[in-house]
Chain A
Amino acid sequence: MNPVVAQLTLRGLLGRRRVFVLAALPVLLLLFSLVLRLTIGPSEDLLESIIGGLALATMLPLLALIAGTGAIGPEIDDGSIMYLMAKPVSRHLIIRSKLLVATVVVLVFASFPVFVSGLLLTQTSMALVFGYTLSTALAGIAYCAVFLLLSVITRNAVIIGLIYAIVWETIVGTFVPGAKTLSIMQWSLAFAEKAGGDQAVRLGVQSEVSPVLGGILLLVVTVLATWYAGVRLRTLRLAGEE
């Protein structure tokens, strides 16, 4: 990792009130969980609905979209990335540094809130809470790698990423049986299912793939997306060059 690239990326992601945009969804999740805990009380069904249905399927892809595209997209759009690229620094290293920052942001703004929300909602399923937290972290890394790649290869990364996050991951990946095997969320859900054991089965936390296959697919997508983003960054043409 290059600390200067990471530092500039972090300041870009969190600076100028962007931190409030990132914090909005997790704060809502935590408030919602707190209200449910105070009004209805802890419930495993609520845990599955709120974490599995809302946080993992909707909040996580959106936060990863903000972090993944925000880590490099604005610099490419305004051309300031030239200052990073006109240096004897490997373009792959630039991508890896930015991915690391985006991942840390997702861990802080998605995985940690998911864990706290799980603690608020669960009664007896601590294992499932840990499983969800792990799923959020692993899916977050893969999402960030994919969205980072999208930002390097297209100027419409946010729109395409939004369609992917909402249409594919949230709707198709949740409800269309065949498409479930091609969903990052489903791959990561395998870890929550495994961790939750019988409790997970009872609550319907079910992935289309095994944890081993899910792990391999997450790893392959993350590595390939990161590598290809580096390749494309080496040949990046900035807007306005033509």
Chain B
Amino acid sequence: MSVLVLDRVSRWFGNVVAVNDISMTIGPGITGLLGPNGAGKSTVINMLSGFLAPSSGTATLDGATIWRNEDIYRSVGLVPEREAMYDIVTGWDFALANARLHGLAEPGAAALRALTTVDMLQAKDRALSTYSKGMKQRVKVASALVHDPSVLLLDEPFNGMDPRQRLHLMDLLRTMANDGRTVLFSSHILEEVERIADGIQVMVAGRHAASGDFREIRRLMTERPHQYTIRSSDDRALASAIISDGSASGVQLKGSGPATPMGESEAELHVEATDFSVFVRVLPRLARERGITLYDVSPADESLESVFSYLVAR
């Protein structure tokens, strides 16, 4: 069980502040590091992987300073974003070299296991220069797994992978997280983060904008109304009840005619709730009191995209 900690870390390059006074703790499980380009994600990964010194603050792994500490690599596996590898060697030679550099007792067995894990055994004897982007990405992951690390850091790991490979890597990361490992990955593909991350760390313009479960983060943003799309047996009566109750700042009826349980009608009700926790208690009560059947209640803006857009807009 390894824990990465950034404590009041800043990093600047000349006059440019890449990371500004951020603190975060990343424990076992999968954590997604999210943010737009230039937000400082790679700078954070580089500081956590020992390739960049914090200008101020500390970055530690299980209490040990990461910077200038080669011993951390016994428990850290790194998948860098850059594509360059030792293109002159084969996938097998590359994985084996990584295993030998770790000083493993049985480097051949370790390399074989890692390449099997990423499903690259068949192409192992081809030169890396002949690999597709997705294949290179998988061999990079294999090279990070050869020593069975307790911490895995991945910078944009899904880049260049086809959907099947993505699912495969997602499963692999989940398995590692379930084994108690600490997995941190950065990604600009929101669905990926949403699908596999136990928690997210959101960075915007070098600042740590939010952390935790992304749905929880969204709920904490009380300044912005929470939007729901509702289908019921009587949208008009329900809209009236919600407005009368005062738990929503606005409602909008869309489509015409009564909704049906199977959703054949396009009629639906859009509600902007002012307080998430109040609204989710009030809505069933209002419906029950008026004899209205709720067919579907779904949050309209709880995707990671909307969370992210909102944080960036702030």
B51 CB–A CB distance under 8 Å: yes
Given A4-B101, A8-B89, is A242 in contact with B13 using a C-beta cutoff of 8 Å?
Answer: yes
Are the CB atoms of B89 and A87 closer together than 8 Å?
A: no
Are the CB atoms of A82 and B78 closer together than 8 Å?
A: yes
- Measured in the bound complex, the distance between the Cα atoms of B84 and A241 in whole Å is 14
Beyond the given A12-B88, A86-B50, A235-B53, please list 12 additional residue pairs across the A-B interface where CB-CB is below 8 A: A3-B100, A8-B89, A8-B97, A78-B82, A79-B82, A83-B94, A83-B143, A85-B51, A87-B70, A235-B68, A237-B52, A241-B43
Within 8 A of A (CB), among B94-124: 94, 97-98, 100-103
Are the CB atoms of B86 and A12 closer together than 8 Å?
A: yes
B interface footprint on A133-154 (CB within 8 Å = 1, 0 otherwise): 0000000000000000000000
Are the CB atoms of A4 and B16 closer together than 8 Å?
A: no
Are the CB atoms of B49 and A86 closer together than 8 Å?
A: yes
Q: CB-CB < 8 A to B131: which residues of A?
A: none
- Measured in the bound complex, the distance between the Cα atoms of B129 and A16 in whole Å is 11
B73 CB–A CB distance under 8 Å: yes
Smallest beta-carbon distance B88→chain A, Å? 4
Q: Which of A7, A11, A88, A238 has the most CB of B within 10 A?
A: A88
Q: CB-CB < 8 A to A2: which residues of B?
A: 101
Q: CB-CB < 8 A to B100: which residues of A?
A: 3-4
Given A82-B80, A87-B101, is A16 in contact with B88 using a C-beta cutoff of 8 Å?
Answer: yes
Are the CB atoms of B85 and A83 closer together than 8 Å?
A: yes
Within 8 A of A (CB), among B49-77: 49-53, 68, 70-71, 73-74, 76
Are the CB atoms of A11 and B98 closer together than 8 Å?
A: no
Are the CB atoms of B97 and A78 closer together than 8 Å?
A: no
Smallest beta-carbon distance B70→chain A, Å? 5
- Measured in the bound complex, the distance between the Cα atoms of B103 and A231 in whole Å is 22
A240 CB–B CB distance under 8 Å: yes
Chain A residues in the interface with B (C-beta under 8 A): 2-5, 7-8, 11-12, 15-16, 78-80, 82-91, 234-235, 237-238, 240-242
Given A4-B101, A87-B102, A90-B70, is A242 in contact with B18 using a C-beta cutoff of 8 Å?
Answer: yes
Are the CB atoms of A82 and B51 closer together than 8 Å?
A: yes
Q: CB-CB < 8 A to B49: which residues of A?
A: 86
Determine which of A15, A87, A237 lies in contact with B88 in the assembled complex, contact meaning CB atoms within 8 Å.
A15
Number of contacting residues on B, CB 8 A? Answer: 34
Smallest beta-carbon distance B10→chain A, Å? 14
- Measured in the bound complex, the distance between the Cα atoms of B94 and A173 in whole Å is 43
Smallest beta-carbon distance B178→chain A, Å? 24
27 chain-A/chain-B pairs, Cβ below 8 angstroms: A2-B101, A3-B100, A8-B86, A8-B89, A8-B97, A12-B88, A78-B82, A79-B82, A80-B84, A80-B85, A80-B86, A82-B51, A86-B73, A86-B80, A87-B70, A87-B102, A88-B74, A88-B102, A91-B70, A235-B68, A237-B51, A237-B52, A238-B82, A241-B43, A241-B51, A241-B52, A242-B16
B232 CB–A CB distance under 8 Å: no
Chain B residues in the interface with A (C-beta under 8 A): 13-14, 16, 18, 42-43, 46, 49-53, 68, 70-71, 73-74, 76, 78, 80, 82, 84-86, 88-89, 94, 97-98, 100-103, 143
Smallest beta-carbon distance B50→chain A, Å? 8
Q: CB-CB < 8 A to A238: which residues of B?
A: 51, 82
Are the CB atoms of A87 and B84 closer together than 8 Å?
A: no
Smallest beta-carbon distance A215→chain B, Å? 33
Q: CB-CB < 8 A to B86: which residues of A?
A: 8, 11-12, 80, 83
Q: CB-CB < 8 A to B53: which residues of A?
A: 235
Smallest beta-carbon distance B16→chain A, Å? 7
- Measured in the bound complex, the distance between the Cα atoms of B86 and A89 in whole Å is 18
Determine which of B18, B82, B85, B89 lies in contact with A240 in the assembled complex, contact meaning CB atoms within 8 Å.
B82
Tell me the nearest residue of chain B to A236, going by C-beta. B51
Smallest beta-carbon distance A163→chain B, Å? 27
Q: Which of A83, A85, A86, A235 has the most CB of B within 10 A?
A: A86
- Measured in the bound complex, the distance between the Cα atoms of B76 and A82 in whole Å is 13
Q: Which of B68, B73, B85, B86 has the most CB of A within 10 A?
A: B86
Smallest beta-carbon distance B288→chain A, Å? 59
Given A16-B88, A83-B86, A242-B13, is A234 in contact with B68 using a C-beta cutoff of 8 Å?
Answer: yes
Are the CB atoms of B16 and A84 closer together than 8 Å?
A: no
Are the CB atoms of B88 and A89 closer together than 8 Å?
A: no
What 8 A-B pairs are tightest by C-beta distance, nearest first?
A: A78-B84, A242-B13, A79-B82, A87-B101, A15-B88, A80-B84, A86-B78, A4-B100
- Measured in the bound complex, the distance between the Cα atoms of B101 and A162 in whole Å is 33
Tell me the nearest residue of chain B to A2, going by C-beta. B101
